[in-house]
């Protein structure tokens, strides 16, 4: 998002200062400078992103790596198992495999409408190349703000559906304004800027699928792979058919389709919430052992434990054995 914002300023500066220099047009200069900038970035990436494996990574000490493995064990996560028909059947019978990919496709297709701010401005006319490159960066700023805000809200409340619902409402308002179209220019641009709230929904989904399928690495892998696969497959025909530049700047049918898919996606808020609570009940996450004065509770781990029979001290944390660690968490992570 920050890169997208600064690329707008970068393109505007290149066009303003280098257009026509040495007989080369501004957009050609942009490709030349991009090539020059890419070289040190590629070298840095090769140095920093050294290939590694799960048993040895250069940015973690052996103690930190072991701690990460212990946390996975406590959460019930298992190492990669064999991919056989049993695994396929388990994945296909899970709710995560069907709910998250379908929701993600709805998000991805309806979210394409937020990518055409500059083309809409060009189609409306009356704006310079410099303005067409810089004004859409306001949407990038809005994406950053909403992403940070939703992240903080999720951390504070330990719930995802609040942010999901709030972002969806803002998104629907923005799409409704763009579909209406016959509003002031400032109102139209406000609606397009609101479409930027689609961005933080993507990491929200990623975190939700990781949390809801945390015990099954194969399920997580298959679900997220299908999510990305179908989005990539459908994006191309979707954009070619509906967001063809011949339909600019209004994209009459395209934004109506986006609004329709977005309305369906809104229904996924209670659907995912219900399934997630079902998943937590399966884990026994809601069994309270001890309530603390600070509002936190103690919950049991996801593998076998043995409680002590001595409950004389009701204010103390319930102790368990078999190397199980008791943690203090909020009541839900949905």
DSSP secondary structure letters along 150-185: HHHHHHHHS-SHHHHHHHHHHHHHHHHHHHH--S-H
Q: Grade residue 69 by pLDDT with cuts at 50, 70 and 90.
A: confident
Nearest alpha carbon to residue 208 among 262, 150, 263? 150
pLDDT over 60 (residue 51): yes
Q: How far is it, in rounded angstroms, from Cα 114 to Cα 259?
A: 12
pLDDT tops 50 at residue 65: yes
The DSSP output letter for 80 is -
Q: How confident is the model at residue 113 (pLDDT cuts 50, 70, 90)?
A: very high
What's the pLDDT score for residue 324? 40
pLDDT in tens, 247-300: 999 999 999 999 999 999 999 999 998 998 888 887 765 444 444 555 554 444
Report the predicted TM-score, pTM, of the whole model to 2 decimal places.
0.76
Q: Are 168 and 265 in contact (CB under 8 A)?
A: yes
Whether 146 shows a pLDDT value over 90: the answer reads yes
Greatest Cα-to-Cα distance within the chain, rounded to the nearest angstrom: 87
pLDDT of residue 116: 95
| 79 confidence band (pLDDT: 50, 70, 90) | low
Q: What confidence tens digit (pLDDT) does each residue in 302-318 have?
A: 433 333 333 333 333 33
Structure tokens at 32: 């030349």
Rounded to 5°, the CA angle 54-59-65 comes to 45
User: How far is Cα 49 from Cα 5, in angstroms, rounded to an integer?
Assistant: 25
Contact 167, 200 (CB under 8 A): yes
Q: Is the pLDDT of residue 212 over 80?
A: yes
CB contact at 8 A, 130 and 9: no
Lookup result for tokens 């994209």? 251
Identify the pLDDT of residue 330. 43
Domains of the chain (ranges; CATH) run 82-279 (1.20.1250.20), 284-334 (no CATH)
Q: Out of 86-95, 234-243, 269-278, 321-330, which region has the weakest mean confidence (pLDDT)?
A: 321-330
Between 66 and 293, whose confidence is greater? 66
pLDDT at 214 over 60: yes
Q: What angle do CA 245, 249, 250 make, to 5 degrees?
A: 115
> What is the token pair recorded at 324?
């199980």
For residue 301, the model assigns a pLDDT of 43
| Segment among 79-93, 152-166, 205-219, 279-293 with least mean pLDDT | 279-293
In the structure, what pLDDT confidence band is assigned to residue 27 with cuts at 50, 70 and 90? confident
Give the span between the Cα atoms of 194 and 221, in whole angstroms: 32
Could you tell me which residues are beta bridge partners of residue 328? Answer: 298
């Amino acid at each position: 998002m920050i890169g997208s914002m600064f690329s707008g300023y970068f393109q505007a500066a290149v066009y303003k200062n280098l257009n026509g220099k040495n007989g080369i047009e501004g957009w050609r200069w942009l490709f030349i400078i991009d090539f020059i900038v890419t070289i040190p970035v590629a070298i840095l990436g090769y140095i920093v992103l050294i290939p590694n494996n799960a048993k040895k990574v250069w940015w973690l000490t052996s103690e930190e790596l072991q701690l990460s493995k212990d946390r996975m064990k406590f959460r019930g996560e298992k190492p990669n198992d064999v991919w056989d028909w049993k695994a396929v059947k388990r994945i296909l019978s899970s709710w995560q495999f069907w709910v998250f990919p379908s929701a993600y496709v709805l998000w991805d297709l309806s979210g394409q409408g937020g990518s055409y701010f500059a083309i809409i401005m060009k189609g409306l006319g009356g704006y310079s190349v410099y303005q067409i490159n810089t004004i859409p960066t306001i949407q990038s700023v809005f994406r950053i703000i909403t992403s940070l805000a939703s992240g903080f809200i999720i951390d504070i409340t330990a719930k995802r559906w609040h942010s999901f619902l709030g972002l969806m409402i803002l998104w629907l308002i923005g799409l409704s304004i763009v579909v209406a179209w016959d509003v002031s220019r400032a109102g139209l641009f406000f609606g397009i800027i609101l479409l930027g709230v689609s961005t933080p929904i993507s990491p929200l989904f990623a975190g939700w699928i990781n949390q809801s399928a945390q015990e099954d690495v194969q399920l997580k892998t298959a679900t997220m792979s299908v999510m990305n696969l179908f989005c990539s497959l459908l994006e191309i025909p979707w954009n070619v058919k509906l967001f063809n530049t011949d339909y600019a700047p209004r994209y009459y049918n395209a934004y109506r389709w986006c609004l329709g898919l977005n309305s369906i996606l809104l229904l996924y808020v209670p659907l995912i919430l219900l399934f997630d609570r079902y998943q937590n009940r399966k884990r026994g996450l809601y069994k309270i052992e001890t309530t603390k004065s600070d509002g936190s509770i103690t919950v049991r781990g996801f593998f076998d434990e043995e409680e002590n029979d001595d409950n004389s001290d009701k204010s103390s944390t319930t102790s368990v054995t078999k190397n199980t660690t008791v943690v203090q968490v909020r009541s839900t992570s949905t």
